A and B are shown apart, each in its own frame.
Chain A
Amino acid sequence: MLNWNLPYITDEHRSLAALMKDFCEREVDLRALNDLADKPIAPNATPADLRARLPLDLLNKAHDAGLRQIAAPAKFGGGGYGEDHVAMGALAETAGYYGGQFGRLMTIAWKQMAAFEYAPEEVAKEVIEDFMNDRTTMMAASFTEPNSGSDMLLPYDEPGVAGQTLAVKDGDDWVINGDKMFCTAGGVSNYITVMARTDPKGPISKSMTQFLVNTRNPGWSVTRVNDNMGNELSSNVQMRFENCRVPDKYRMSPVNGAFEVGKSRLAGKTAHLFAELGWTERAWEDFKEYSKARIQGGKRIIEHNNVGMLVAETDCLIRTLRLFLYNDAWEWCGEGRGQLRDPLGWFYANWYCKKVMWRVFEAGLEIYGGLAPSRELNFEHFVRVKMSMFHGGSTGLLSLVKAAKVIAGQASDAVQET
């Protein structure tokens, strides 16, 4: 159970979290969502096949409750909470705790709203109105490429290296050609923000531009579904852009300025980490209760030192992660729209979240023993899915590499995250 005795949490935040809890308890069937996510994905799955894996009815109900659109600007009919990172954290944590996979579906929708802070007003209006009117509308962001993973994320800033997806101006349009590698929800989205090289020779941090691609237009396709050991409901795909035309009005950053803009959108990504926190807390509660019920050696296993210490250690780690995330969220609220901020908080949050999850995996394996891989427990689904997404927002170690560069004064201005 989540308690809200935190200094950053207001009555308003608690009311929002209570709403999310109510919704999840009424509408989310954890087992059904897990089973839906675990349905085999055909090698030649089409976007329509991938959409069939989405619980559209649940998303529809989330919209009725005001939750799906809670991060969208109020002027477009949304909840207007997109820049209250503490509120979004409380909502995401609650959705992850009570809703598991549902939490991630919500944070994908919420996080993309941050991308429209810098879009031209008419583009933001067009897309967000589509999102509001068509409840099946999804959005995604694509960044890494088959030959550019860490090269994009660090970034490796040698001239002309990394980022082979090119965008070339042709009249009033840009024409995009190239492949993108890991795109969460790419196969089910109507809109994808795409980073493409607009300076073929420069260092990547000063050569990328962000575009908004409408996947209903020609030139975009899914080339492969990344079928992982634990799939999310939104799936994860590789994509190809072949002479994909994007009018200049759908350019979401200054030319060659995508990295600069991307920095100040990092706060929106923390919703993902909060959802992971919530799911991790739930996994911890489950093995805590198990350890209090299971009798071995004449007593509850939590009374055995090895198990008791694991439960206590992971409780401590989760509590510190929680405080860290809410502190960061609170600081980001104070920074204001468009302000560049110290990226260390995000790097550490990304690293530490993964560190804690990994330790919770280890603890659960020890505590459940032979039962750990059993499909009867939510634990195994949690481990499979979360391990499959450990690269999300860059791996933990890569985040520390970047943090070290910042501390050493070696980081370029474009220390960036997807």
Chain B
Amino acid sequence: MNIIVCVKQIADPEAPEESFTLDSEKNVFIPSAKITKVLNPFDEQAVEAALRIKDQSGAKVTAFSLGAGLDRAVTKKPVFMGADELILLEDEAFADGDSWSTARALAEGIKKNGSYDLILCGRQAADWNAGQVGLGIANFLGLPYVTVAKKIEIIDGKARVERVTSNGHEVVEVQLPAVITVSNELGQARYPAIKNIRAANKVQPVVWKPSDIGIDPSSVGKNGRRLHLLKLFKPVIQGTCEIMEGESTEEMAENLALTLRRAKIL
């Protein structure tokens, strides 16, 4: 079985405020050179989902990532966790894309790579949180698409998926090949193996540019965007403190509950 997992390198979502700026005139996020880059946590769970299938029934897991100047310590993490191969779509032309141009490039890369049975993505990336790349890949490849999986089993050429719903989960079945996005309810991703980290230098990713996947550089990345960002700003957070009055703890608690209800928080 061949499983593709798409993983994204992002700026650490926990990076302190001073490690980036927002240019609200040009609507651009500008990270400092020191900002730590990490693998999108939801994509780590997609890798974990793939590896669980590999552990159970054997599979070849190929990780794909896309961008410019990709950090090898970050993008190799799927291999450290147990993936078999890493393919990077790496070129300046791929930078600053939106969900559409990213999905298109990944879909072409996946086609070039050859056969696949299952494509996994994280449910969304923890930087822009659009959650559309998986959908885009499914659209470009003409595949069925299942979202927010918390469990995936492969049975007789089909994927049996437990999907997260607002009040629990539902179970669906989809014929393979298919695209499935993985949610954090899957559980903790495994740690990278020390022996794999130690052998990191032996891991040489396959690197493709736009011409390698038969795509015009002017139609990917920033030049291929279809989404126009109208406004990018840091919300102003103002804190106020209201002391709850009351003769007793119970009365103060009741006043708190009523205040929260009036504020439509409860």
Chain A interfacial positions (CB closer than 8 Å to B): 1-5, 11-12, 14-16, 18-19, 22-23, 26, 65-67, 70, 74, 79-81
Shortest beta-carbon distance from B238 to chain A in Å: 13
> Could you say which of B82-90, B192-200, B212-220 contacts chain A?
B192-200
Once the chains bind, are A15 and B73 in contact (CB under 8 Å)? yes
Once the chains bind, are B73 and A18 in contact (CB under 8 Å)? yes
Once the chains bind, are B73 and A22 in contact (CB under 8 Å)? no
> Could you say which of B30-38, B177-185, B246-254 contacts chain A?
B30-38
> With an 8 A cutoff between CB atoms, is B76 at the interface?
yes
Flag B1-33 by CB within 8 Å of A: 1 or 0 each.
000000000001011100100000000000001
In the complex, which residue of chain A has the Cβ closest to the Cβ of B12?
A: A1
Which of A12, A19, A67 is close to B201, meaning CB atoms less than 8 Å apart? Answer: A12
In the complex, which residue of chain A has the Cβ closest to the Cβ of B33?
A: A5
Once the chains bind, are A1 and B200 in contact (CB under 8 Å)? no
Subset of 26 A-B contacts with CB under 8 Å: A1-B12, A1-B14, A1-B16, A1-B19, A1-B36, A3-B34, A3-B36, A11-B76, A11-B200, A12-B200, A12-B201, A14-B73, A15-B73, A15-B76, A15-B77, A15-B192, A15-B200, A16-B197, A18-B73, A18-B77, A19-B192, A65-B191, A70-B194, A74-B198, A79-B195, A81-B198
Once the chains bind, are B188 and A26 in contact (CB under 8 Å)? yes
Cα-based distance from A57 to B133 in the complex (angstroms): 40
Shortest beta-carbon distance from B19 to chain A in Å: 8
Hey, which chain B residues are within 8 Å of A74, CB to CB? 198
Hey, which chain A residues are within 8 Å of B73, CB to CB? 11-12, 14-15, 18
In the complex, which residue of chain A has the Cβ closest to the Cβ of B41?
A: A22
Hey, which chain B residues are within 8 Å of A79, CB to CB? 194-195, 198
Cα-based distance from A26 to B189 in the complex (angstroms): 11
With A3-B36, A11-B72, A15-B80: A80-B198 Cβ-Cβ less than 8 Å: yes
In the complex, which residue of chain A has the Cβ closest to the Cβ of B199?
A: A12
Hey, which chain A residues are within 8 Å of B76, CB to CB? 11, 15
Cα-based distance from A79 to B19 in the complex (angstroms): 33
Interface centre among B33, B188, B197, B201 (most CB of A within 10 A): B197
Chain B interfacial positions (CB closer than 8 Å to A): 12, 14-16, 19, 33-36, 38, 71-73, 76-77, 80, 188, 191-195, 197-198, 200-201
Shortest beta-carbon distance from A108 to chain B in Å: 19
Once the chains bind, are B194 and A66 in contact (CB under 8 Å)? yes
Additional pairs, 17, CB under 8 Å, beyond known A1-B12, A1-B19, A12-B201 = A1-B14, A3-B36, A4-B36, A12-B73, A15-B76, A15-B197, A16-B197, A18-B38, A18-B77, A19-B191, A26-B188, A65-B191, A66-B193, A67-B194, A79-B194, A80-B198, A81-B198
Shortest beta-carbon distance from B131 to chain A in Å: 23
Cα-based distance from A29 to B194 in the complex (angstroms): 23
Shortest beta-carbon distance from B187 to chain A in Å: 11
Shortest beta-carbon distance from B157 to chain A in Å: 34
Cα-based distance from A65 to B72 in the complex (angstroms): 21
Hey, which chain A residues are within 8 Å of B197, CB to CB? 12, 15-16, 19
Shortest beta-carbon distance from B10 to chain A in Å: 14
In the complex, which residue of chain A has the Cβ closest to the Cβ of B196?
A: A15
Cα-based distance from A348 to B19 in the complex (angstroms): 32
In the complex, which residue of chain B has the Cβ closest to the Cβ of A3?
A: B34
Cα-based distance from A11 to B16 in the complex (angstroms): 22
Hey, which chain A residues are within 8 Å of B72, CB to CB? 11
Cα-based distance from A18 to B12 in the complex (angstroms): 12
Hey, which chain A residues are within 8 Å of B191, CB to CB? 19, 22-23, 65-66
Cα-based distance from A290 to B14 in the complex (angstroms): 17
Cα-based distance from A200 to B225 in the complex (angstroms): 82
Cα-based distance from A16 to B72 in the complex (angstroms): 13
Hey, which chain A residues are within 8 Å of B193, CB to CB? 66
Hey, which chain B residues are within 8 Å of A14, CB to CB? 73
Cα-based distance from A66 to B198 in the complex (angstroms): 12
Hey, which chain A residues are within 8 Å of B194, CB to CB? 16, 19, 66-67, 70, 79
Shortest beta-carbon distance from B43 to chain A in Å: 14
Which of A1, A5, A23 is close to B15, meaning CB atoms less than 8 Å apart? Answer: A1
In the complex, which residue of chain A has the Cβ closest to the Cβ of B197?
A: A15
Cα-based distance from A22 to B36 in the complex (angstroms): 14
Shortest beta-carbon distance from B51 to chain A in Å: 16
Cα-based distance from A311 to B195 in the complex (angstroms): 40
Hey, which chain B residues are within 8 Å of A67, CB to CB? 194
Once the chains bind, are A12 and B14 in contact (CB under 8 Å)? no
Shortest beta-carbon distance from A267 to chain B in Å: 20
In the complex, which residue of chain B has the Cβ closest to the Cβ of A61?
A: B191
Which 6 A-B residue pairings sit nearest by Cβ, starting from the closest? A66-B194, A11-B73, A14-B73, A3-B34, A79-B194, A15-B197
Hey, which chain A residues are within 8 Å of B71, CB to CB? 11
Cα-based distance from A70 to B15 in the complex (angstroms): 28
Interface centre among B33, B36, B77, B201 (most CB of A within 10 A): B36
In the complex, which residue of chain B has the Cβ closest to the Cβ of A78?
A: B194
Hey, which chain A residues are within 8 Å of B201, CB to CB? 12
Cα-based distance from A162 to B77 in the complex (angstroms): 53
Cα-based distance from A66 to B81 in the complex (angstroms): 13
Hey, which chain A residues are within 8 Å of B16, CB to CB? 1
Cα-based distance from A79 to B80 in the complex (angstroms): 14
Hey, which chain B residues are within 8 Å of A19, CB to CB? 191-192, 194, 197
Hey, which chain B residues are within 8 Å of A22, CB to CB? 191
Shortest beta-carbon distance from B15 to chain A in Å: 7
Interface centre among B15, B188, B198 (most CB of A within 10 A): B198
